[in-house]
């Protein structure tokens, strides 16, 4: 845990993490409140679900949006994105009838697009501000902060919505972006002006994807991340069927998600040392194996098993995500990092939506116990390619360890 304290003692790292906690709180609160807001105004579950679609859809344009993070200095870009979102959120108090819902959906869509740009710029800026041996620790701490907010913010957002309405949640989220802007403005990061672009727009947009595909260490990690999120979406869509098998009310999902979040918080604190000891490939592979086994064992209709499996999924699932992001930050030239990070995020997170749709269809056709057992077995196989070159993983771990402990 020594390196964790090293990260926390760094002024810029603390500012980054504090900004992530504050803005993440507002985002999670709005995520819950927006769907409830639409449901209350229209009574439509379908329109309420469109809120998540509006937030997620811009992820598909990650390679294009990520080019902004390589064309503009990243610190001003982070500040500009947060101020834009704060201003847009201030328009939402006017959404007081179904006729005004178009404004809410438009703001959510821009929110999602700005989030893609923000994440790409932040990943690139962090890579230049945090020493390479500590990137795994930083990314793990950021995961801990994000998951911690997911445990607290939806409850807070629901409380604010119930007491004061959706407009108050939007204003709260706007305030978090203003505070995050102040934190980013205080960063002591020196950036050179990006050089003039070379090649056509389409070629520049595709550079991130070409870098990922041609890099022998990044390609398997990003593919494993995308496959994992595909299966995670499928598994997540079965949670209510699992709850039915346990004989609980739908609200029991809150208990399972809280336990899963606690597992993610724990692995975030341990990811830095684990990455140095195992290397990115083995750390990701072991996390996938734990997640797959836990997903399969949820076929057993037992409360203790369900709780243990939820904690194991929470601990195992982030491993490949942290490993892939850390590897991208370490192995990508700075001038290309915005596009590469955004492309990697698209390739990793977009399959989650497909998995959710697949699960929603299959749960109506196949017994959930059989579905979970097959899912766990197939998911487990996806960890094997990451273990194919143990010597390479060992060399990566040894290099990271030597970098972290120079003679």
Minimal CA–CA distance to 331: which of 183, 222, 197? 222
pLDDT over 90 (residue 311)? yes
Give a yes or no: residue 354 inside a domain: yes
One domain, residues 274 and 165 = no
Please, what sign has the CA dihedral across residues 14, 257, 351, 22? negative
| 169 and 299 both lie in a single domain | no
Instruction: Examine the domain organization and report whether 241 and 137 are in the same domain.
Output: no
259 with 164, same domain: the answer is no
pLDDT tier for residue 395 given thresholds of 50, 70 and 90: very low
* Range from 97-106, 157-166, 191-200, 351-360 carrying the lowest mean pLDDT: 191-200
The three-state secondary structure class of 336 is helix
Would you say residue 194 lies in a domain? Answer: no
pLDDT class of 2 with cuts at 50, 70, 90: low
User: Same domain, yes or no, for 102 and 153?
Assistant: yes
244 and 130 within one domain: no
Task: Report the pLDDT value the prediction gives residue 202, as an integer from 0 to 100.
Answer: 73
Q: Which of 158-167, 292-301, 383-392 has maximum average pLDDT?
A: 292-301
Evaluate whether residue 161 is within a structural domain.
Answer: yes
52 or 286, which is more confident: 286
Q: Which structural domain, as residue segments, surrounds residue 7?
A: 1-186
In the numeric block, which tokens belong to residue 338? Answer: 């915005």
**Confidence category of residue 198, pLDDT binned at 50, 70, 90:** low
* DSSP codes, 44-106: -HHHHHHHHHHHHGGGGGHHHHTTHHHHS-HHHHHHHHHHHHHHHHTTGGG--SGGGHHHHHH
Any domain includes 198: no
Q: Is 196 within a domain? A: no
> Minimal CA–CA distance to 65: which of 335, 338, 321, 337?
338
Domain membership of residue 122 (yes or no) is yes
CA distance 6 to 16: 14
pLDDT at 297: 93
Taking residue 402's Cβ as centre, other Cβ atoms within 10 Å add up to 12
The pLDDT, as a whole number, for residue 187 is 85
* Helix H or strand E encompassing 263: helix 253-297
Number of domains in the chain: 2
**Stated pTM of the model:** 0.80
Question: 122, 151, 186 — which closes off a domain?
Answer: 186
Instruction: Give the domain CATH number at 38.
Output: 1.20.1250.20
Q: Residues 379, 248: one domain?
A: yes
Q: What integer best gives the mean pLDDT of the chain?
A: 84
């Amino acid at each position: 845990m020594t390196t964790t304290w090293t990260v926390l003692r760094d002024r810029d790292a603390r500012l980054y993490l504090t900004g992530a906690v504050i803005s993440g709180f507002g985002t999670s609160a709005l995520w819950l409140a927006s769907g409830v807001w639409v449901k209350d105004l229209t009574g439509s579950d379908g329109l309420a679900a469109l809120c998540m679609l509006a937030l997620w859809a811009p992820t598909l344009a990650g390679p294009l949006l990520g080019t902004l993070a390589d064309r503009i200095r990243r610190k001003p870009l982070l500040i500009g994105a947060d101020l834009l979102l704060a201003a847009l959120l201030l328009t939402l108090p006017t959404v007081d009838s179904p006729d005004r819902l178009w404004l809410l959906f438009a703001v959510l869509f821009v929110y999602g697009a700005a989030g893609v740009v923000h994440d790409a710029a932040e990943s690139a800026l962090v890579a230049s501000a945090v020493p390479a041996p500590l990137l795994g620790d930083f990314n793990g701490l950021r995961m801990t902060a994000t998951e911690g907010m997911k445990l607290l913010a939806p409850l807070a957002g629901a409380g604010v919505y119930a007491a004061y309405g959706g407009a108050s949640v939007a204003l709260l989220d706007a305030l978090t972006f203003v505070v995050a802007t102040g934190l980013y403005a205080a960063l002591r990061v020196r950036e050179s002006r990006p050089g003039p672009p070379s090649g056509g727009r389409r070629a520049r947009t595709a550079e991130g994807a070409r870098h990922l595909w041609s890099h022998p260490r990044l390609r398997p990690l990003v593919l494993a991340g995308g496959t994992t999120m595909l299966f995670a979406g499928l598994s997540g869509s079965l949670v209510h069927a699992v709850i039915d098998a346990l004989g609980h009310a739908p609200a029991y999902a809150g208990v399972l998600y809280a336990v899963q979040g606690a597992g993610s918080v724990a692995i975030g604190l341990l990811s830095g040392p684990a990455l140095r000891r195992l290397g990115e490939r083995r750390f990701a592979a072991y996390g996938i194996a734990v997640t797959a086994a836990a997903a399969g064992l949820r076929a057993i209709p037992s409360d203790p098993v369900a709780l243990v499996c939820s904690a194991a999924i929470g601990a195992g699932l982030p491993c490949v995500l942290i490993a892939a992001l850390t590897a991208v930050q370490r192995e990508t030239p700075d001038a290309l990092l915005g596009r590469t990070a955004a492309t990697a995020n698209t390739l990793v997170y977009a399959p989650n939506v497909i998995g959710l749709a697949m699960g929603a269809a299959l749960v109506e056709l196949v017994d959930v116990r059989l579905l979970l057992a097959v899912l766990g077995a197939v998911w487990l196989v996806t960890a094997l390619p990451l273990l194919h070159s143990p010597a390479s993983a060992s060399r990566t771990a040894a290099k990271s360890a030597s970098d972290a402990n120079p003679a």
